[in-house]
């Protein structure tokens, strides 16, 4: 059943509550009349009352002579995930999705977001808000041109606008007799006041050398060497993305959910290192580690985080050239650097350098995936036993998987909010259950699980789709074609220095052949105890060319609206390919080590080469994960692994008998 907006019919609140799990009771006698433009409506209990917040915000807008105010969904570092301290969009709208833009005028308030979040927004926003099912600058500007008068002022926080966003809005408003106005004091913060969560204060710690590929001194020297070789001879490099500074100094903390970062900026010159951060978060050992008590070229000078704007402005007044990565530098810092003193690239040299893992980093990430596979296999075994009992739901299942990962060595929590989606929920590519809204897992439905872990030696991200009952012929075909896409891209041999965008179609070809497709990207880079989405590696048009030592996910999918969803995601290392003739060619080595669901594979759709690849992959799983399961005496999980990695033949998939399974278990116990 397709999801329907909550407010369209009062009785749907109760109906959908039943379909989505066990939410809080809904009182059908209580009407919600919060600034509704029409007759009173019933709203779900998840809606947030924003009337007082909007009134206070409009008072601030009036003080600053603004007709409208734009509220993006990011922080001052253009982070994909943001901390509680920066969730301005969620606080003012009630909408907690991770992508959206809010605009408030004196008479209206609107939210623009993509299709992943339409249903969620309808559940969370009250009648003060209009939901616009569009994304991009143009729809917002077009709406503003109809809502605000000529000579109106549109305010924004320059530290929350990327350079590209500012340029886009500035160009769109040009000649419209409306003005885009930069307001340094964030108006939502002024209204939020004491209710706003405090800035993070957890310790910033040193990642042990065991888990790093190079010392911070080696990394600084490498980046300085790149500065010296640059044809525009920059005198300084400004780092704004949080993972850049964390990587450069081998430091970690927990300011951002699922990401081991801390709020910071770095200004690196050939003779100095300036780290803008809350220095009270360092203990004496970390200060000593950074050589913060000296002033030499390898001494890190700590400056207050809030002073970065003034410090960059002061530095830019000299005879200097400042190198920035445009993607992660905000307009607020960009505008204080004179254009003639700016050296701008799409990505900073730190972003590009850390994308290529050295041999030690590769070994670390491989090791983390072995332990992650153990946690995943434990969970899949548990599901097989308990889903038929009717006692597992999407949310409780996700919590159990987090628990299993947390028990693994070097674990530091999940790498993102687990996508645990059963049946029709899996058709929403980025759906995640909550305690209030979830469905039970059923043997008669598909179950899509997209999850990952943060470990001191690596970050993981894996998706498996399973079915414990009897899938339909179409479900098996769709699943197998997604699997073929995964295999075809994983085994592809391609020229070095080619863009991922060029080869991405190999993951879609088997689906395209029968008129199917998927609407999301095919993969993204991944870090070593850093971002689960580590740009600029991947298969997007903005990604850099593929190079040996990069890690990327490979994740084709298919989604049947209102029925089921399929995604198969593995993390793979770019390695040198062995070819018949001389040349520099690359291919992928998959490091995710969890079997696919045999119950959903139509072997007859696989070519001999694809079947050979799959059986070789299964043998690799046995060799790498099997010994770890045996070492830990996880005998039931080992027997499950043996069963689910048995070689497939061109005939119908071989189903291991109960006798065979017991025989394997007996051999394991005897060994």
Residues 349 and 372 in one domain: no
pLDDT in tens, 86-100: 999 999 999 988 889
pLDDT in tens, 235-255: 999 999 999 999 999 999 999
Q: In Å, how far from its chain's centre is CA 70?
A: 24
Residues 298 and 385 in one domain: no
pLDDT in tens, 558-569: 999 999 999 999
DSSP-derived 3-state class of residue 301: strand
Q: What percent of the chain has pLDDT over 90?
A: 85
Q: Is the pLDDT of residue 126 over 70?
A: yes
CA distance 59 to 50: 14
Please report whether residue 660 resides in a domain: no
Q: Around 150, how many Cα atoms within 13 Å sit in the side-chain half-sphere?
A: 3
Residues 213 and 148 in one domain: no
Q: Is the pLDDT of residue 413 over 80?
A: yes
Q: What is the rounded average pLDDT for all residues in the chain?
A: 90
pLDDT at residue 152, as a whole number: 96
Q: What's the angle, vertex CA 594, arms to CA 642 and CA 365, rounded to 5?
A: 125
Residues 327 and 365 in one domain: no
For the record, the structure tokens of 3 come out as: 């999801």
Question: 24: pLDDT confidence band, cut at 50, 70 and 90?
Answer: very low
Please report whether residue 18 resides in a domain: no
CA distance 1 to 640: 34
Query: Residue 645 contacts by C-beta under 8 Å, 6 or more apart in sequence?
Result: 595, 618, 619, 621, 622
Residues 209 and 298 in one domain: yes
Q: Is the pLDDT of residue 267 over 50?
A: yes
Please report whether residue 45 resides in a domain: no
Q: Which CATH number belongs to the domain containing residue 347 in this structure?
A: 3.40.350.10
CA distance 148 to 89: 21
pLDDT at residue 43, as a whole number: 58
Q: Which of 4-13, 195-204, 472-481, 622-631 has the lowest mean pLDDT?
A: 4-13
pLDDT in tens, 435-453: 888 999 999 999 999 999 9
pLDDT in tens, 42-51: 556 678 899 9
Mean pLDDT over 548-559 rounds to 98
CB atoms within 10 A of CB 396: 17
Residues 56 and 97 in one domain: yes
Mean pLDDT over 110-122 rounds to 87
pLDDT at residue 45, as a whole number: 64
For the question of whether the overall pTM of this predicted structure is more than 0.85, the answer is yes
Domain range for 167 is: 50-195
Q: Which residues in 46-115 belong to E strands, given as ranges? A: 68-71, 101-105, 109-112
CB–CB of 599/471 below 8 Å? yes
Residues 380 and 431 in one domain: yes
Q: Which residues in 119-277 belong to E strands, given as ranges? A: 130-132, 153-156, 179-182, 205-206, 236-239, 251-252, 265-269, 273-276
Question: 115: pLDDT confidence band, cut at 50, 70 and 90?
Answer: confident
For the record, the structure tokens of 205 come out as: 């710690």
pLDDT at residue 44, as a whole number: 63
- Bond preceding residue 536 cis, omega within 30 of 0: yes
Q: Is the pLDDT of residue 488 over 80?
A: yes
Among residues 195, 224, 243, which one ends one of the domains? Answer: 195
pLDDT at residue 116, as a whole number: 75
Question: 36: pLDDT confidence band, cut at 50, 70 and 90?
Answer: low
Residues 173 and 209 in one domain: no
Residues 191 and 224 in one domain: no
Q: Is the pLDDT of residue 654 over 70?
A: no
CA distance 352 to 361: 15
Q: Which CATH number belongs to the domain containing residue 574 in this structure?
A: 3.90.230.10
pLDDT at residue 3, as a whole number: 29
Residues 137 and 160 in one domain: yes
pLDDT in tens, 272-327: 999 999 999 999 999 999 999 998 999 999 999 999 999 999 999 999 999 999 99
Please report whether residue 19 resides in a domain: no
Q: How many domains does the chain have?
A: 3
Residues 186 and 153 in one domain: yes
Residues 301 and 437 in one domain: no
pLDDT at residue 42, as a whole number: 53
Among residues 195, 229, 255, which one ends one of the domains? Answer: 195
């Amino acid at each position: 059943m397709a999801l329907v907006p909550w407010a369209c019919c009062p009785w749907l609140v109760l109906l959908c509550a039943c379909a989505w799990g066990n939410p809080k009771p809904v009182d059908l006698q209580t009407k919600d009349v919060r600034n509704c433009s029409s007759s009173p409506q019933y709203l779900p209990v998840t809606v947030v009352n924003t009337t007082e917040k909007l009134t206070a915000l409009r008072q601030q807008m009036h003080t600053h002579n603004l007709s409208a105010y734009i509220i993006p969904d990011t922080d001052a570092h253009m982070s994909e995930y943001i901390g509680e301290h920066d969730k301005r969009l969620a606080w003012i709208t009630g909408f907690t999705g991770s992508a959206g833009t809010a605009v408030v005028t004196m008479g209206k308030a609107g939210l623009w977001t993509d299709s992943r979040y339409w249903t969620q927004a309808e559940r969370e926003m009250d009648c003060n808000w209009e939901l616009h099912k569009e994304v991009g600058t143009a729809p917002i500007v077009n709406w503003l041109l109809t809502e605000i008068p000529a000579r109106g002022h549109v305010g924004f926080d320059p530290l929350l606008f990327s350079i590209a966003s500012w340029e886009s809005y500035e160009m769109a408003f040009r000649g419209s007799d409306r003005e885009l106005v930069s307001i340094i004091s964030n108006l939502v913060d002024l209204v939020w006041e004491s209710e706003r969560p405090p800035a993070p204060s957890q310790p910033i710690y040193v990642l042990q050398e065991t888990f790093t590929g190079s010392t911070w001194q080696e990394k600084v020297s490498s980046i300085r060497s790149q500065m010296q070789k640059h044809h525009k001879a920059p005198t300084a490099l400004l780092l704004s993305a949080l993972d850049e500074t964390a990587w450069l100094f081998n430091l970690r903390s927990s300011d951002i959910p699922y990401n081991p970062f801390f709020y910071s900026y770095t200004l690196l010159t050939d003779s100095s290192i300036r780290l803008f951060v809350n220095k009270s978060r360092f203990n004496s050992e970390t200060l000593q580690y950074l050589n913060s008590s000296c002033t030499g070229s390898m001494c890190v000078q700590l400056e207050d985080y809030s002073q970065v704007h003034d410090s960059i402005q002061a530095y830019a007044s000299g005879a200097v050239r400042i190198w920035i990565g445009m993607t992660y530098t905000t307009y607020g810092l960009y505008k204080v650097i004179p254009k003639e003193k700016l050296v701008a690239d799409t990505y900073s040299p730190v972003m590009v350098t850390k994308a290529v893992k050295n041999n030690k980093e590769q070994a670390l990430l491989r090791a983390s995936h072995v332990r992650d596979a153990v946690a995943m296999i434990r969970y899949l075994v548990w599901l097989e036993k308990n889903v038929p009992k009717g006692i597992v739901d999407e949310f409780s299942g996700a919590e159990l998987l987090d628990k299993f990962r947390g028990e693994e060595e070097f674990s530091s929590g999940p790498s993102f909010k687990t996508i645990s989606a059963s049946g029709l929920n899996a058709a929403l590519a980025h759906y995640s259950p909550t305690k209030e809204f979830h469905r039970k897992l059923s043997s008669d439905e598909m179950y899509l699980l997209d999850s990952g872990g943060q470990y001191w030696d690596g970050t993981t991200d894996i998706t498996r789709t399973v079915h414990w009952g009897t899938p339909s012929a179409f479900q098996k075909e769709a699943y197998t074609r997604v699997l073929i896409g995964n295999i075809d891209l994983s085994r592809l041999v391609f020229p070095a220095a080619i863009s991922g965008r060029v080869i991405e179609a190999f993951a879609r070809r088997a689906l395209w052949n029968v008129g199917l497709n998927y609407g999301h990207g095919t993969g993204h880079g991944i870090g070593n105890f850093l971002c689960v989405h580590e740009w600029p590696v991947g298969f997007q048009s903005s990604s850099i060319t593929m190079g040996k030592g990069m890690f990327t996910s490979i994740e084709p999918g298919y989604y049947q609206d209102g029925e089921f969803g399929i995604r198969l995601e593995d993390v793979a290392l770019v390695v040198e390919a062995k070819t018949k003739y001389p040349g520099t060619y690359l291919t992928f080595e998959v490091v995710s080590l969890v079997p696919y669901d045999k119950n959903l594979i139509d072997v007859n759709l696989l070519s001999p080469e694809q079947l050979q690849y799959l059986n070789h992959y299964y043998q690799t799983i046995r060799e790498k994960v099997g010994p770890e399961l045996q070492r830990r005496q996880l005998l039931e999980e080992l027997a499950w692994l043996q069963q689910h990695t048995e070689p497939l033949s061109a005939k119908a998939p071989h189903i291991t008998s109960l006798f065979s399974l017991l025989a394997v278990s007996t051999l394991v116990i005897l060994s």
